[in-house]
Structure 1
Amino acid sequence: MKKRWVKQKMTLLVIREADQSVKQLDMSKMLVVAVPLAAVLSISGFIVGLEMKSSAHIRSLESMMAERTMQMEITVKNKELAIQKLQNEIIRLSSQTQDMKNEMQNITELEQQLQQLIDTYGVTEPTKTSEISALSWDAVDNVGGDLIEASQEQILQLAQDTRSDLNQIKEMLGTMRHNVSQTLHKAQVVAGTPTEWPTVSTRLTSSFGYRKDPLTGRAAFHAGIDIGGKVGDPVFAAADGKVITADKDGSHGKYIVIEHPNGLKTWYMHLHKIEVEVNDTVSKGDRIAQLGNTGRSTGPHLHFQIVQSDKPIDPLPYVKNSKK
C-alpha cells in the first residue's frame, strides 16, 4: 500500500492565455508533497535560527546592562561612602574646633586676670606688631591662579590633615593654658600675700608677742601689731582677697577679716567705720575702713594681724618693707 502511494502520480494542468494550449505536467505525488514540506521546514529552521540568535544577543545585552548597573551601583556606593567619610570628618573637625574655642576662651580669661594684675601692680610697654587681615575662603577680588580641581580623595586627605593639625594646636593650647594658669597662680599668690602697710600712719604702738596687757597690767599674748593713728584715717587691704567677716563685738570692736588666695587671713580691728561687705572682693591697697577706737582699746589705733592655719603669726616681716 505504501509503495503504491509513493509511485502514484499527480497531473498538474497549467492554464495559460486563451490562445495558448493547456500544458499538462505529470509529477510524483510524493514530490508534490515533499517540496512544500521542505520549504516549510527551511523557513521554520530560518525562523528558529533568528530566534536563537536574537535570544543570544538579548542575553548578551542583558549581561552588559547588568554589569553596567553593578558598576553604577558600586560607583554610587563609593560616592556615598566618601560623602559619609567627609561628613564624619567634618563632624569631628567641628567638635575639635569647639574644644579649641573653649580652650581659647579659658586662655583669654586667664590673660585678662593677668592683665588686671599687671594693671594693678605694674605697667608694661605694648609690643608693636604688624597687622594682617584675616583670610577669606570665598574672596573673589584680587585673587587668581590655575584651575586645579580637588578630587574626593584629596578633599578627604585634606580633612584628615586638618584634623591632625587641630590635634597639634589643641595640645599647644593645653600647654599654653597650663603655663598661663601656673603663672596666674604665682601672680595671685604674690598679690594675695599681705605686703601692703594697712594705714597712713607708720607709728607702731605695740608689737607681736607677749606683753603687759594695757588694761589689766598682767602678762598676755598680743596676736598682732598696733598702729597708732587718728580716728577716720583710711585703712587699706594688705593683699588681694575676699571679705569673709565684717562685724563688731565687745573685744574686737568693729572689725574685718579678709581671706587671701595663698591661705592667709588678715584681721583689722577697733575700726571706726567699715566700708566693705561680706563676699566683697578687694585688691591690695583698696580702702576698706576707717581707723577707730572701738572695742577693747585705750586709744585710736589699728590692730592688724595675720593668721595662718588658724594661728596668728607676726605680721611685721610681711609689711615692714611696704612703701606706705
Structure 2
Amino acid sequence: MKKLFKFKWKKKKFTFIILEDAGRSSIQFKVMDFILYSLPIFLGLLIFSIFVLFTLHQSALLKYDRLHTTLKVSETKYTDMVTEKNQTIEDKDETIEQLQTNLMSLSEQTKEIESKLNELEKLENEIKKITGNDTTALADPSNTILEKDAVATSSVSILHKNNKLIGTGGHLVPLHNESLNDITTNTSENLISLNKNVDSLLVSLSDSKQDIVEYQQLLNITPSIWPTNHQKVTSNFGYRRDPFTNALSFHTGLDIGAFYNDPVFAAADGTISYTGYDRIYGNQITINHSRGMITRYMHLNKILVESGQQVKKGQKIGLVGSTGRSTGPHLHYEIVKNGQRQNPLDFIQ
C-alpha cells in the first residue's frame, strides 16, 4: 500500500547542443528541468515588474508635472503678492513720509499760532490791566480748566439725571490714504486761514491797545475825580451873590465844604506849576496837566508839594483850610482849559 502511493520526484536534465561550422567542435550544455520550467514564470514576473515600474514611473511623472504646474502657479501668485505687497508698502511709506511732512508743517503752524495766541493773551492782559479788568483767569489757565471740568461734570450729571441716552457706536470705516491726505490738507488750510485771522486780530488789538493807552493817558491827565473826600458843594460855578458883599458876582470855580486839614487830592496827573499865597486865595496850588488843561486848589491850610514836582491823579497835595478871603474851611477848586475857566462839575465823574 505504501509503495502504491509513494511518489518520487525524478530529476530530469535537458541537454542543448549548439553546432558550429564544419571542422569545429559543438557546444552542449545541460539545464535542469525545474530551471527550464521556471524560466517562463521568471520572464512573466520580469515583464510584470517592468510594467508596474513603468506605470509607477508614468504616474510619478504625471504627479510631478501637476506639482510643477501648481508650484509654478503658486510661485507666480506669490510673486504677484510680493510685488503687490512691496508696492503697497512703498505706497504706505510714501504716504507716511507725506503725512510726516504734513505733520511737521502742521506742527510748525501750530507753534506759530500758539506763539501768536500767547501774544494775544499777553496783549489782552495788558488791555485789561489798562482798563482795570480782572486778568486772574488768564494769568492762571488752571482756573479755566477747572471751570471747564466742572461744567463737563455738571453736564454729565444732568444727562444721567434726565435719563438721556448718551451712548455711541457704529461700523468701523477705516480711513484711506487719500482721506488722511485730505484731512491734513484741510487742517493745513484751516490753520493758514486761522493764522491770517490771528495776524489781523493782532494788528487790530495792537491798534486798540494803542488807542486805549492814549485814551488812558488822556483820562489820567483829565481832572475827573473829586479833589476831596467830601462832595458837598457850598457854591457852584457861575453867577452868585458874593458871601461878603452880597453883590452879584461871577464865581470862577467850585467851593466844596470840608473840615480843617482834610486831604486835598490832585484831580489828574500833572506837574506842579505854582505854589504860593495871596490875600484873596490864600495858600494855593496850580497843576499843569498839559494839552492846555490846568487845575487850581485854593484856601489851603497847608501845601504838601513843591513847584516842578510830578504828581499822579489822587495823590495827596495839601490840606483843607480857610486862608485868604474865606468864610470857613472849604476848598476852592478851579479848572482852566485853553485859558478859559470851566465848570468843574462838567469834568467830575
Q: TM-score band, normalised by the shorter chain? A: 0.3 to 0.5
Q: TM-score, normalised by structure 2?
A: 0.43
Larger Rg belongs to: 2
Q: TM-score, normalised by structure 1?
A: 0.46
Kindly indicate which of the two structures has a greater share of residues assigned to helix: 2
Of structures 1 and 2, the one scoring higher in RCO (CA 8 A, sep 6+) is 1
